[in-house]
């Protein structure tokens, strides 16, 4: 009888220990998933809040990339960029290119202006007899949230949304295509020479 009472006591102790360990494991797993869900909700709220904060920058100092596809080398040989502010051209420049035939599919070029306002319009004009114009607007910044192994860390960086802008008033699809260009440009007023 003494051995069966001792075995019963030992069995009860093992079962009790297993129950406590199982309960502790369940609390840890439940706490992890609860914390993960809270971090995901906070990340959603922070993305909206921090993106609005990041987008308060008045100037674009990064050099947005403009990508062309479906153009001939003659059309890309000289690209003219106009910086239009308030309906007036405040700056313009022509970039000379010599794209090779294999570079024509997905030809990329950075905007040559060092700094411009977010409210400015960039106009890109191709060369050649089939000259086309593209109005680029809607440049902005966004919040890139920081994530670690366990999810959202609660911090962010402000980054430029390169490639996320409007072309001729429509959302950009990655490349400027000849079919999307305007054949004529409403001539904006030139800046005054006496500035």
pLDDT at 35: 84
Q: Which residues of 48-71 are buried (b: 16+ CB within 10 A; e: fewer)?
A: eebbeebeeeeebeeebebebeeb
pLDDT at 186: 60
pLDDT at 101: 65
What would the pLDDT profile of 106-126 be if each residue is shown by its tens digit?
Answer: 788 889 999 999 999 999 999
Low-confidence ranges of the chain (pLDDT < 50): 191-195
pTM for the model stands at: 0.73
CB-side neighbour CA atoms (13 Å) of 75: 20
Measured in residues, the chain has a length of: 195
What is residue 45's three-state secondary structure?
helix
pLDDT at 3: 65
Classify strands 166-167 and 141-148 as parallel, antiparallel or unpaired. Answer: unpaired
């Amino acid at each position: 009888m003494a051995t069966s009472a001792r075995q019963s006591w030992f069995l009860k102790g093992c079962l009790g220990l297993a129950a406590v360990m199982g309960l502790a494991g369940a609390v840890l797993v439940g706490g992890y998933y609860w914390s993960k869900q809270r971090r995901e909700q906070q990340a959603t709220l922070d993305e909206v809040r921090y993106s609005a904060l990041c987008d308060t920058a008045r100037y674009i100092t990064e050099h947005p990339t403009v990508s062309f596809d479906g153009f001939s080398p003659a059309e890309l040989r000289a690209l003219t960029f106009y910086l239009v502010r308030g309906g007036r051209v405040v700056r313009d420049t022509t970039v000379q290119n010599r794209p090779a035939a294999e570079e024509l599919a997905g030809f990329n070029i950075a905007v040559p202006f060092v700094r411009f306002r977010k409210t400015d319009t960039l106009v890109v004009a191709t060369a050649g007899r089939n000259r086309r114009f593209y109005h680029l607007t809607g440049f902005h910044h966004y919040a890139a949230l920081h994530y670690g192994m366990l999810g959202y860390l609660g911090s962010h960086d402000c980054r430029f949304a390169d490639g996320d802008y409007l072309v001729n008033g429509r959302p950009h699809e990655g490349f400027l295509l000849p079919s999307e260009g305007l054949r004529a440009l409403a001539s904006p007023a030139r800046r005054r020479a006496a500035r």
